[in-house]
Chains A and B, each alone.
Chain A
Amino acid sequence: MRLKLLVLGLALVTAVPAAVTAAQAADGIYIPLMSYRTGPYSGAGIAIFNGMHDYLNLLNARDGGIGGVRLIVEECETGYDTKKGVECYDATKGKNPVVSTPYSTGITLQLIPKASVDKIPVLSMAYGLSASADGNDFPWVFNPPATYWDGASAFVRHVADVEGGFDKLKGKTIGLVHLDAPYGKEPIPLLEALAKDYGFTLKLYPIPGAQMQNQTSLWLDIRRDRPDWIFMQGWGAMNPTALKEAIKVNFPMDHFIGNWWAGGEDDVRPAGPEAKGYSALGFSGVGRDYPAIQDILKYVVDKGNTQTPKEKVGEVLYNRGVMNAVLIAEAIRGAQHLTGKKQVTGEDVRRGLETLNITEARWKELGLPAFAAPIHLSCADHNGHNGIYLARWDGTKWTKASGWIEPIKDKVLPLIDSAANSYVSANAGWPKRSEACDKSS
């Protein structure tokens, strides 16, 4: 009897997928958020998706959506797992999503070829495939405001500024501590090119994903090699571990700079007060002294319409989530403006993203003055290669420590071109761009 019940139960449970209902999104613009609030990277993920969710909720609560159409925001849990990410994509595809935000390099790579087929633009904000900045080859993929190559080149520019000019870089040694995965290896070709041009030596310190929290031997190597500067392309638990080890070997914190995924509060806090002086790249403002963030507190957080603990509002990754939501919202707004429709589709939002132009004045209008550098995309340039700033950890919080640092565009752009070409040639049959180009508004 018990056995029969078991068998019956199993049959029932496996029969459920057949009952999948492709619920069509009712009136409203459907925005799926691929989130990871579980899994090894949930620490960062929760903050980012809280930020995105809260800003989109704010638009609903304060303005009644965008252009009078409500936003339907739905999260799909990926756990930073590529399989589940693709599952989420397939599960939400039927509901006419206007944009997909994969939030993982692995998932982004999966979605890039699908985007043009399913007519859903991919917005991978400063992650994913650097080469996808080339709008002629990747009309459906957007990665503003900067690529990893822009980030690494901004770091080199900063080093040159501190050292007193690009000619002073000669003979210096720069170490790259990176996750030994596609994401971590991304800046290598650029840094190698710059090393050749400016005459500095590049030393690589790869950290395998499984060894993230065991870096002692690597830092002994670093102590032996004595690099003058260290750039860190790190993620997750790797960041606080690297900081702790750097402190142990007495590496000067002001010569240790992380990229923008190594600059969250939780990355440095565990390292204690000695981490003071460590800095990381950033492209979205910190703190809550922005009218829009105050609005989030007023309309969303205080109303209890969120999962965000109040004290987390305004942290680095939270604000980055807000910025991502702003890009989505502005693209939808642009699409409505271009097409004259209220209920826009993925195709319209692609055009909206391509004509995205958030000027300094527009940032102010949005209630986020000087929150990020002005972002201007075009049909050819889906990234903008915008300014990046340096955030410094003062022991308790991140503070803005520099103005907007321009990436070294004349080195980055040729590399993007050649990478995009090689992607297209490796993928025989890659579709030629057939999408018309809109005039920027």
Chain B
Amino acid sequence: MLYREVGQYKSNYAADMAVFPILQDRIGIAVILVIAYVVFPLIGNDFLLNTILIPFLIFSLAAIGLNLLTGYTGLLSLGTGAFMGVGAYACLKLTTIFPHVNILIWILASGFFSSAIGVLFGLPSLRIKGFYLAVATLAAQFFLEWCFIRIPWLYNYSVSGAIEVPLRTFMGIPMTGPTATSLTRYLAVLTIVVAMTWVASNIVHGRIGRMWMSVRDMDLAAELIGIRLFRTKLLAFAVSSFYCGVAGAMMVFLWYGGAEAEVFAIDQSFLILFMVIIGGLGTLIGSFFGSALIYILPIALRLIPANFGIPIRPAAAEQLTFVIVGALIIVFLVVEPNGLARLWQIGKQKLRVWPFPY
């Protein structure tokens, strides 16, 4: 009833091709941004900010990164965890060598290192496709993980072999390190994620995005219409790894505050891949849905027994959570194999014609 485009006329091409052609969508986005920037900081406690929102945003960004590669370009990658690691270690080295440069600049700059490594390991994608490419990126995962453990220079020779995040300030406010409040870190993460999502949205709706999608749909045909596979595929790897690298740097610097190499293990790669698949391949909003379902849902489920006074042991609750989340994933995929983003789209479509669906 309310969600209807009746009376919204478009008088030029730009308006017609807008990402959010319907007024209500634009209002919706504005409301979400207001909630994220104003309401959550006002009502949020440490638990909400640090345990739910910051990780959710970081995982969303990593999922967007992988989605650009796997969802938009059709190149399956299992190296996401390692590319995130490259970002984190690059950021550590950069801020160690140049401690006076703003940490946020380094978090973004570390994406370029990840990007370079991504292009290097993306080279096999020129010859191999599908599962075979997944195996090649798996090699990247194992090789980089080995580097994180075995090259002491990367973690500044710390005895524990872990990244220890130093204190860095931005205009006198601690941004990273133990004294940084969750609120500052949340706002930094939120701003980076919003900005990068906006950039990603522009990329995928533009020429580059169309090139990627044509490669995904049929690379031979794409080549015939004049798309250079070499550049397009490597560009996809570069941009995707950039996003993953920034997500990795944020994960260690703005969320964990210190991490072992184990954080960037193969599990992380699978986790992000699942987020992308469940959220919806080839959609940006799906990356957020996927991240919410895989990351926030288990936390929410774990809180239920405690908050409703159900006497259940934490270990049993944990096992139950696994069962329920697993079952839900199957349910969602059976109901809509194209992911939550597709469900969302169908929902919106139905709303548009509601209550007279004919």
Contacts and interface: CB of A to CB of B under 8 A. Distances in A.
Given A110-B258, A113-B177, A427 B318 contact: no
B124 interface: no
A419 B159 contact: yes
A86 interface: yes
A16 B101 CA distance: 40
Given A7-B343, A90-B47, A428-B167, A117 B258 contact: no
B353 interface: no
B166 A429 contact: yes
Interface stretch (B19-27, B82-90, B111-119, B259-267): B259-267
A13 interface: yes
Contacts of B303: 16-17, 19-20
B156 interface: yes
Contacts of A2: 335
A6 B335 contact: yes
Interface in A164-194: 180-182, 185-186, 189
Interface in B103-158: 149, 156-158
Nearest to A428: B166
A415 B72 CA distance: 52
Contacts of A35: 314-315
A237 interface: no
Interface string A327-370: 00000000000000000000000000000000000000000000
Interface string A70-87: 000001110100110011
A86 B159 contact: no
Given A16-B300, A77-B314, A181-B260, A109 B162 contact: yes
A17 B52 contact: yes
Q: What 10 pairs across the A-B complex have the smallest Cβ distances?
A: A429-B167, A113-B178, A37-B315, A182-B161, A77-B314, A77-B318, A16-B300, A90-B51, A75-B314, A419-B159
B173 interface: no
Contacts of B157: 422
Given A3-B346, A77-B315, A82 B260 contact: yes
Which of the four size classes fits the interface of chain B? 35 or more
Interface residues of A, number: 60
Interface of A: 2-4, 6-7, 10, 13-14, 16-22, 35, 37-38, 75-77, 79, 82-83, 86-87, 90-91, 93-94, 105-106, 109-110, 112-114, 116-117, 129-131, 180-182, 185-186, 189, 209-210, 307, 419, 422-423, 426-431
A427 B297 contact: no
Main secondary structure of the interface of A (DSSP, over half): helix
15 contacts: A6-B332, A6-B335, A13-B301, A17-B48, A20-B307, A22-B45, A38-B319, A82-B263, A93-B47, A106-B259, A109-B162, A109-B164, A110-B258, A307-B313, A431-B179
B296 A422 contact: no
A427 to B, nearest CB: 5
Contacts of A307: 313
Given A77-B317, A82-B260, A90-B47, A427 B164 contact: yes
A38 B262 contact: no
Interface in B152-197: 156-162, 164-167, 174, 177-179
A106 B261 CA distance: 10
Contact of B48 (A20, A77, A430): A20
A90 B52 CA distance: 10
A17 B43 CA distance: 13
A94 B45 contact: yes
Nearest to B167: A429
B166 A17 contact: no
A181 B158 contact: no
B178 A21 contact: no
